[in-house]
Amino acid sequence: MAVIHANRNHRRTLVEQMDAAEWSGDNGDMYEVTKSDEQWQAELDPLEYQVLRHAATERPGTGELLHEDRVGVYHCRACGAELFRSTTKFEAHCGWPSFYQPTESDAVELIEDRSLGMVRTEVRCRRCGSHLGHVFDDAPQTPTGDRYCMNSVSLSFEPAEPGSSAGGGSSAQDGSSAGGGAAAEAE
Ligand SMILES: [Zn+2]
């Protein structure tokens, strides 16, 4: 029916406009991957759930990826999106895995965080909105000066296969990620 068709086109135009505009603050409905709180809780283990979905922080020095130094790619543990490459990981001696730059600047979302009596910049996965950690500009020893201070449990590491170029292009380490339905269109 023509009316419905026109309506659909109109919606698409709206979405594109919103996408082009600056994403700000709480845009819970705009993530590419959205799941109910119950779904996230069922898919993630308790610590992952508390950190990724409720912005908790793992204890410093405890993360399994803290001392990971192999070549490879770091993905969002909630949705599988690529976030960081090992080439930007550095030893910040802060107790959490640290990177100076995401793979793509729009792989993450930066949000002002005024909790705990401080003004910090929260880092979330742009694809699913999960909490990753915070970014600080206190790393002058790096090319960007930034320290993306990430919770290890927010990330999953995929080592590069011998002979391949830093894992580029390969994806979907487990088929269970991103069951959100409307995924798969980006890029
Ligand atoms: Zn994600």
The total domain count for the chain is 1
pLDDT value of position 46 = 97
Residue 84 in any domain: the answer is yes
Q: How far is the CA of 4 from the centre of ligand 1 (A)?
A: 33
Say yes or no to pLDDT of 22 above 50: no
Does any domain span residue 40?
yes
Instruction: Please identify which of the residues 76, 79, 128, 149 carries the catalytic annotation.
Output: 149
Listed as own residue / partner, the contacts of 67-71 with beta carbons closer than 8 Å and 24 or more positions apart are 68/97, 68/157, 70/157, 70/159, 70/160, 71/159, 71/160, 71/166, 71/167
Does any domain span residue 10? no
**CB 142 within 8 Å of CB 149:** no
Q: What is the pLDDT of residue 165?
A: 57
pTM of the full structure: 0.73
The CA 31 to ligand 1 mean position distance, Å, reads 9
Q: Which residue has the higher pLDDT, 76 or 7?
A: 76
Instruction: Measure 7 CA to ligand 1 centroid, in angstroms.
Output: 30
Q: Are 85 and 149 in contact (CB under 8 A)?
A: no
- Is residue 92 within 8 Å of 133, Cβ to Cβ? no
10 pLDDT higher than 70 = no
Q: Is the residue at 74 inside a domain?
A: yes
pLDDT of residue 35: 96
**What is the biggest distance separating any 2 CA atoms in the chain, rounded to whole angstroms?**
62
The CATH number for 99's domain is 2.170.150.20
Ligand 1 centroid to Cα of residue 66, in Å, is 19
Query: For 10-38, b where at least 16 C-beta lie within 10 A, e where not — what string?
Result: eeeeeeeeeeeeeeeeeeeeebbbbbeee
Confidence (pLDDT) at 164:
60
Tokens of 113: 């965080």
Among 6-10, 26-30, 125-129, 145-149, the range scoring the smallest mean pLDDT is 6-10
Establish if 78 belongs to a structural domain. yes
pLDDT at 187 over 80: no
How many degrees, rounded to 5, is the angle at CA 162 between CA 156 and CA 166? 55
Judged against a pLDDT cut of 70, whether residue 32 lies above it is answered with: yes
Q: Is 125 designated active site?
A: no
pLDDT of 23 higher than 80: no
Q: Would residue 16 count as lying in a domain?
A: no
Is the pLDDT confidence value at 185 over 50?
Answer: no
CA of 128 to the centre of ligand 1 (A): 4
CA–centroid distance, residue 126 to ligand 1 (Å):
7
Evaluate whether 52 touches 130 at the Cβ level (below 8 Å): yes
pLDDT in tens, 120-179: 999 999 999 999 999 999 999 999 999 999 999 999 999 998 766 544 444 444 444 444
**Does 44 fall in a domain?**
yes
Q: Is position 93 within any domain?
A: yes
Q: At residue 56, does pLDDT exceed 70? A: yes
Sign of the C-alpha dihedral computed for residues 98, 153, 82 and 112 taken in this order: negative
Q: Give per-residue pLDDT as tens, 73-114.
A: 999 999 999 999 999 999 999 999 999 999 999 999 999 999
Whole-angstrom distance, CA of residue 113 vs CA of residue 122 = 6
49: enclosing H helix or E strand: helix 46-54
Q: How far is the CA of 14 from the centre of ligand 1 (A)?
A: 24
Residue 37 has pLDDT above 90, yes or no: yes
Query: What residues make up the domain containing 132?
Result: 32-159
Between strands 89-90 and 72-76, the pairing is unpaired
